[in-house]
């Protein structure tokens, strides 16, 4: 079977903009969680977020695209440019229909949408941007990346909330296997506006702690919910043979296994599906749990969800049987961008041979039986990683990444 | 605005930039009066956006079909400055 390898990453994260800055901050345990500045959150119970700092859109986005793009799409276009740049490929030399785009989305470009709906209600329909017709559509990142880079092959959008980044990459791998040699995937999201904030608060899973260092403590006895952030990662998947043939300057690793499940109805009495998704992904990679060197956890930060994930991990690997980490403690959960960023982080971890730490958590609750990497990074030279993600509504997704040498 | 105010090419250029940006490689300050909007990098949605801005700023209403047919700055300015000055009632 054709192997799908990752040849380029583009990262826009609250703790680092660009692959190098992000990885340096992540290994150093530098958090990007802050009291919200993007809008006045004083009237809401949740006031901490992961904000991407220092992004000057005009430096990255052509003038023609500025009036028709939300921040989410601008971040995605910038990340896509970086990821493509890293691959060293000259897209003009590749067949347009041999390049696809599959990204994850959640609620679409809600900041743009909120502004235009406010124009509609307060000033009238003549004041609504013509670009509202597509700029807030949840498929817009895939569309704009595809148009800008003339990538006309099989493309799409997946919406499975926080699991979306993995599901998109899993789907991109299907396209690779069906003969599309170059597929851009991942997810970049931003919903830091009242309209994006309020629906998430209603889940009851967001932390109401107002201290950025104490708000999001997954697997801790003090866990009080999660923090939401913006950003994500774009990854370029290529057919391994064609990547080598064109002399791709770097291969971060192979997307070796993918699994996705749905949770049963809450009243069924059956267990949640996360462990099964992980088993499917590991088996799909032709591996056993013994071969997995690190787990990047979903890390919901909600006690019952942390417990369920810890049970899935220790059930598969044994108590303290594998190092587990949650670098998303530095960024918050990034909606459709979250799992994509975790995949990028895991690839950088394999590439560098270092497991980045979980920050702010002093130690996991002992009952979870987890070997959580806290405080310092670990130089254990992992060769394969399992990335877990859960999306609100019962989505589970797992991805196995393997180091490729040479 | 008064019914006698004339919308100039400079006004239109400014509104094009504000509403739809400027295509790379196109000099909007050059001799663009008879260059098609298509060649200037503005598609139909961009034109919809800029015509919306013209109507809001000048308090006029342009007939949809005539506006869509005005395919150069000269043609659009002619439409705005002759037929367009119907006071908005909505």
Report pLDDT for A1: 64
Domain-embedded: residue B3: no
Domain-embedded: residue A239: yes
- B24/A126 touch (CB, cutoff 8 Å), yes or no: no
**Residue A112: domain span:** 4-245
Domain-embedded: residue A250: no
DSSP string, B22-89: --TT--TTSS-TTS-TTTTT--HHHHHHHHHHHHHHHTB---HHHHHH--SHHHHHHIIIII--PBP-
Q: State whether A20 and A85 are in the same domain.
A: yes
The ipTM value here is 0.86
Cβ atoms of A81 and A62 closer than 8 Å: no
Domain-embedded: residue B56: yes
Q: Which residues of A touch B18 (CB under 8 A)?
A: 67
Q: State whether A42 and A150 are in the same domain.
A: yes
Closest to A126 (Cβ–Cβ): which among B21, B22, B52?
Answer: B52
- For chain A, positions 124-183, list CB contacts with chain B under 8 A: 124, 126-127, 129-131, 133
- For chain A, positions 235-294, list CB contacts with chain B under 8 A: none
The verdict on A376 touching B (C-beta cutoff 8 Å) is no
Q: State whether A131 and A196 are in the same domain.
A: yes
d(CA A317, CA A330): 26
d(CA A89, CA A251): 13
Q: State whether A307 and A223 are in the same domain.
A: no
d(CA A335, CA A390): 10
Name the domain boundary from A245, A280, A300. Answer: A245
d(CA A158, CA A6): 19
Number of domains in chain A: 2
What CATH number corresponds to the domain at position A121? 3.40.47.10
Report pLDDT for B83: 65
Q: pLDDT digit of tens for each residue in chain A (406 aa)?
A: 689 999 999 999 999 999 999 999 999 999 999 999 999 999 999 999 999 999 999 999 999 999 999 999 999 999 999 999 999 999 999 999 999 999 999 999 999 999 999 999 999 999 999 999 999 999 999 999 999 999 999 999 999 999 999 999 999 999 999 999 999 999 999 999 999 999 999 999 999 999 999 999 999 999 999 999 999 999 999 999 999 999 999 999 999 999 999 999 989 999 999 999 999 999 999 999 999 999 999 999 999 999 999 999 999 999 999 999 999 999 999 999 999 999 999 999 999 999 999 999 999 999 999 999 999 999 999 999 999 999 999 999 999 999 997 4
């Amino acid at each position: 079977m054709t192997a799908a390898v990752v040849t380029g990453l583009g990262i826009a994260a609250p703790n680092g903009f660009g692959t190098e800055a992000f990885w340096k901050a992540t290994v150093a345990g530098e958090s990007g969680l802050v009291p919200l500045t993007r809008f006045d959150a004083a009237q809401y119970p949740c006031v901490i977020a992961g904000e991407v700092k220092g992004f000057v859109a005009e430096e990255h986005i052509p003038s023609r695209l500025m009036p028709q793009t939300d921040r989410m799409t601008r971040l995605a276009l910038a990340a896509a440019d970086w990821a493509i740049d890293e691959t060293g490929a000259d897209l003009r030399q590749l067949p347009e229909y041999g390049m696809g785009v599959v990204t994850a989305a959640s609620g679409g470009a809600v900041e743009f949408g909120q502004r235009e709906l406010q124009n509609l209600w307060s000033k009238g329909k003549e004041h609504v941007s013509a670009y509202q017709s597509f700029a807030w559509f949840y498929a817009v990142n895939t569309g704009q990346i595809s148009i800008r880079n003339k990538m006309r092959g099989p493309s799409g959008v997946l919406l499975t909330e926080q699991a979306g980044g993995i599901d998109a990459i899993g789907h991109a791998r299907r396209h690779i296997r069906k003969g599309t040699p170059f597929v851009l995937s991942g997810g970049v999201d931003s919903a830091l506006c009242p309209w994006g904030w309020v629906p998430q608060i209603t889940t009851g899973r967001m932390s109401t702690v107002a201290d950025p260092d104490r708000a999001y403590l997954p697997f801790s006895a003090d866990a009080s919910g999660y923090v939401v952030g913006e950003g994500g990662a774009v990854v370029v998947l290529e057919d391994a043979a064609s990547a080598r043939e064109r002399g791709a300057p770097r291969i971060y690793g192979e997307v070796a296994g993918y699994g996705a499940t749905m949770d049963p109805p809450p009243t069924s009495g059956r267990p949640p599906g996360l462990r099964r998704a992980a088993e499917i992904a590991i088996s799909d990679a032709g591996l056993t749990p013994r071969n997995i060197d690190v787990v990047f956890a979903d890390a919901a930060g909600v006690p019952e969800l942390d417990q369920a994930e810890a049970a899935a991990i220790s059930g598969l690997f044994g108590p303290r049987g594998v190092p587990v980490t949650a670098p998303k403690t530095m960024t918050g959960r990034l909606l459709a961008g979250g799992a994509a960023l975790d995949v990028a982080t895991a690839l950088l971890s394999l590439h560098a041979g270092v497991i980045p730490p979980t920050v702010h958590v002093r130690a996991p609750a002992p009952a979870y039986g987890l070997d959580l990497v806290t405080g310092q990074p670990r130089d254990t030279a992992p060769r394969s990683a399992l990335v877990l993600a859960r999306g609100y509504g019962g989505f589970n997704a797992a991805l196995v990444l393997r180091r490729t040498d040479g | 605005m008064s019914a006698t105010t004339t919308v100039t090419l400079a006004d239109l250029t400014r509104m094009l930039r504000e509403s739809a940006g400027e295509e790379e490689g196109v000099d909007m300050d050059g001799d663009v009066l008879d260059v098609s909007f298509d060649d200037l990098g503005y598609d139909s949605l961009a034109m919809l956006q800029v015509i919306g801005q013209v109507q809001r700023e000048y308090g006029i209403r342009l007939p949809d079909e005539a506006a869509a047919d005005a395919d150069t700055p000269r043609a659009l300015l002619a439409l705005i400055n002759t037929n367009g000055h119907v006071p908005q009632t909505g």
